């Protein structure tokens, strides 16, 4: 299959919440699967700080083998170390223009939310797979998706059968490990830091790292920091998460509940603060105030991994891979929303390993509508469907009306 091909023109849940009792529930019927061949578009990410791609050549090969057409924009995989030739040899059609991708595809699969240009190119009734990025999401963005009758699937909402969030978890693991490596580099005097080694050496104490949040990011950050020899403190509002860290990472880790007194004591004694406090489906809670940051020692480091959901450090603001840091109150802040993009090949493979099989299943079931009736976790990933916002969390955030997706399915609106 040598040579580049160019396209023409260039779970069900356990207990139900009481409110669900008044909602008509769709009935699952055993029906013959009517396989549908999908046309899938993979545009080049136009955000300057996004290097990942949603589908690798390996995933494309599987999709093509299952009868689906995949259109990849020229150069889309270069930042992740995947060439156009690799995609072509996997069976994809290489498109020269962004417009060509949107014209030829019924499903758009990408990493970042759509740009203004991409929103204009969206055709009515298309499917969209992408991150939502609650920290930058706007009502106007949602209104365009609603008006165009887009079926929008958010990476942050996609659930497995055990209710875990597979893409979020994968990216959180990468972000947790990367955050400590970043902090260690920023502590160097050549980068404006305090000039100390994260793990210390014989006779010289290690750096103190405080991690706000004991979820997947916090766990991986703590594990990495401990392995590098740092003194690690973790703060979280949930005791069971702290207990898990103590049990799995050992008694050398210091833990505390998320009370103002403990937060202030831990942060002010730290050389590094890693913000990893998330609230599923909502904006990240602000845990560390500006007053506390202003009292940290000069040259200390803050890495706010929660910045893509608004940030959990009061002094944080979004930065990019080109200009990843800024200094406020003498403290170096690193607030790049997509830390995983630093290791784009690894992150792309992780995302693709989830999206590729998911798209195959959608095709096997005959499309999104029949598939989501069989898969509760996938149903939970949809936030716009049939010209309605379907996520209560987004409704509360923006004051917009929403309709429960189960009602839309049951009513066949």
Of 310, 336, 362, the position where a domain reaches its end is 336
212 located within any domain = yes
| Residue 211: strand, helix, or coil | strand
* Any domain includes 118: yes
**Are residues 133 and 63 located together in one domain of the fold?**
yes
The more confidently predicted of residues 135 and 333 is 333
Task: Assess whether 237 and 355 both reside in one domain.
Answer: no
Higher-pLDDT residue of 154 and 9 is 154
Q: CA-CA distance, 375 to 166, in Å (whole number)?
A: 15
pLDDT of 14 reads 39
- Residues 157 and 281 sit within 8 Å (Cβ to Cβ): yes
**Distance from C-alpha of 193 to C-alpha of 125, rounded to nearest angstrom:** 51
Tokens of 83: 């060439």
Where a domain ends, among 274, 309, 336? 336
Is the Cβ–Cβ distance between 92 and 72 less than 8 Å? yes
Residue 90 lies in a domain: yes
192: helix, strand or coil:
coil
Paired with 274 in beta bridges are: 211, 303
Q: Is residue 5 part of a domain?
A: no
* Buried/exposed 26-48: b ≥16 CB within 10 Å, e otherwise: beeeeeeeeebebebbbbbbebe
Helices (H), 336-404: 344-365, 368-374, 376-379, 392-398
Token pair of 174 as six digits: 């990468």
Q: Which of 336, 367, 388 is the last residue of a domain?
A: 336
- 51 and 110 share a domain? yes
Distance between CA atoms of residues 363 and 382, nearest Å: 17
Which structural domain, as residue segments, surrounds residue 214? 169-336
Is 2 among the domain residues? no
- List, for residues 19-65, the tens digit of each pLDDT value: 333 445 544 444 446 899 999 999 999 876 789 999 999 999 999 99
Give the relative orientation of helices 57-65 and 344-365 as an angle to the nearest 10 degrees: 10
Measure Cα distances from 361 to 134, 169, 408 in Å: 27, 21, 22
Residue 295: other Cβ atoms inside 10 A: 13
- How many structural domains is the chain composed of? 2
| Pairwise CA distance, residues 359 & 356, whole Å | 5
The CA–CA distances, whole Å, from 210 to 244, 341, 381 equal 17, 24, 32
Share of the chain above pLDDT 90, in %: 77
Lowest mean per-residue pLDDT among 204-208, 280-284, 350-354, 377-381: 280-284
pLDDT at residue number 23: 47
Q: pLDDT digits over 81-98, tens only? A: 999 999 999 999 999 999
Average pLDDT, rounded, for the chain: 90
Is 269 among the domain residues? yes
Q: Are residues 195 and 320 in the same domain?
A: yes
Residues contacting 142, CB < 8 A, separation 6+: 384, 389, 394, 398, 400
Angle between helices 239-249 and 216-227 (to 10 degrees): 30
Q: How confident is the model at residue 4 (pLDDT cuts 50, 70, 90)?
A: low
- Pair of tokens at residue 315: 């002094």
- Whether 246 is in a domain gets the answer yes
Those residues with Cβ within 8 angstroms of residue 19's Cβ, 6 or more apart along the chain or in another chain = none
Q: Same domain, yes or no, for 157 and 192? A: no
Least confident span in 19-23, 71-75, 256-260, 334-338:
19-23
Lowest mean pLDDT among 223-227, 264-268, 309-313: 309-313
- Give residue-wise pLDDT tens across range 177-201: 999 999 999 999 999 999 999 998 9
Nearest-angstrom CA–CA distance, 335 and 139: 24
Distance CA 257, CA 303 (A): 20
Quote the DSSP letter at residue 25.
Answer: P
Question: Residues 40, 93: one domain?
Answer: yes
10 contacts: CB under 8 Å, gap ≥ 6: 95, 96, 97, 100
Question: Mean pLDDT across the stretch 278-298?
Answer: 89
- Give the pLDDT score at 8: 46
Are the C-beta atoms of residues 112 and 171 closer than 8 Å to each other? no
Q: Which CATH number is 38's domain given?
A: 3.40.50.720
| 49 and 117 together in one domain | yes
Residue 409 has pLDDT above 70, yes or no: yes
And the tokens for 38? 């999908």
pLDDT band, residue 337 (cuts 50/70/90): confident
DSSP 3-state assignment of 160?
Answer: coil
What was the pLDDT predicted at 248?
92
pTM over 0.85: no
Same domain, 140 and 219: no
What is the end-to-end Cα distance of the chain in Å, rounded? 45
How does pLDDT run across 347-391, given as a tens digit for each residue? 999 999 999 999 999 999 999 999 998 898 999 999 999 999 999
**β-strands 382-385, 151-154 pairing:** antiparallel
Q: What is the distance between the alpha carbons of residues 350 and 338, in angstroms, rounded to a whole number?
A: 14
* 407 within some domain: yes
Based on the domain organization, do 204 and 242 belong to the same domain? Answer: yes
Q: Are 237 and 295 in contact (CB under 8 A)?
A: no
């Amino acid at each position: 299959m040598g040579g580049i091909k160019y396209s023409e023109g260039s779970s069900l849940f356990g207990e139900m919440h009481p409110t669900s009792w008044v909602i008509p529930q769709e009935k699952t019927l055993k029906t013959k699967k009517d396989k549908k061949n999908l046309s899938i578009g993979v545009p080049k990410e136009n955000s300057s700080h996004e290097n990942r791609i949603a589908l690798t050549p390996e995933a494309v090969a599987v999709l093509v083998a299952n009868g689906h057409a995949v259109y990849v924009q020229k150069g889309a995989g270069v930042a992740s170390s995947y060439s156009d030739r690799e995609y072509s040899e996997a069976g994809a059609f290489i498109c020269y223009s962004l417009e060509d991708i949107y014209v030829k595809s019924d499903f758009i699969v990408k990493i970042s939310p759509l740009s203004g240009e991409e929103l204009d190119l969206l055709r009515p009734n298309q499917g969209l797979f992408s991150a939502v990025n609650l920290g930058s999401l706007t009502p106007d963005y949602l209104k365009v998706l609603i008006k165009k009758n887009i079926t929008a699937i958010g990476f942050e909402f996609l659930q497995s059968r055990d209710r875990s969030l597979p893409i979020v978890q994968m990216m959180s693991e990468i972000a947790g490990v990367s955050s400590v490596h970043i902090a260690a580099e920023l502590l160097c005097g050549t980068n404006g830091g305090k000039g100390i080694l994260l793990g210390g050496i014989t006779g010289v104490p290690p750096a103190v790292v405080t991690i706000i949040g004991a979820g997947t990011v916090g766990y991986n950050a703590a594990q990495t920091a401990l392995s590098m020899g740092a003194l690690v403190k973790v703060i979280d509002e949930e005791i069971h998460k702290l207990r898990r860290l103590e049990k799995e990472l050992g008694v050398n880790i210091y833990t505390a509940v998320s009370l103002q007194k403990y937060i202030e004591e831990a942060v002010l004694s730290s050389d590094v603060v890693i913000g990893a406090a998330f609230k599923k489906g909502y904006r990240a809670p602000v845990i560390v105030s500006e007053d506390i940051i202003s009292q940290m020692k000069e040259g200390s480091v803050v890495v706010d991994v929660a910045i893509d959901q608004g940030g959990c450090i009061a002094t944080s603001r979004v930065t990019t891979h080109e200009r990843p840091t800024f200094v406020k109150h003498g403290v170096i802040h690193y607030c790049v929303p997509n830390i995983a993009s630093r290791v784009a090949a690894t992150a792309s493979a992780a995302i693709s390993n989830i999206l590729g099989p998911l798209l195959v299943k959608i095709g096997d079931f005959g499309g999104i509508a029949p598939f989501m009736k069989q898969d509760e976790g996938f149903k939970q990933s949809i936030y716009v469907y049939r010209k309605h916002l379907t996520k209560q969390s987004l409704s509360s955030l923006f004051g917009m009306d929403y309709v429960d997706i189960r009602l839309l399915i049951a009513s066949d609106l």
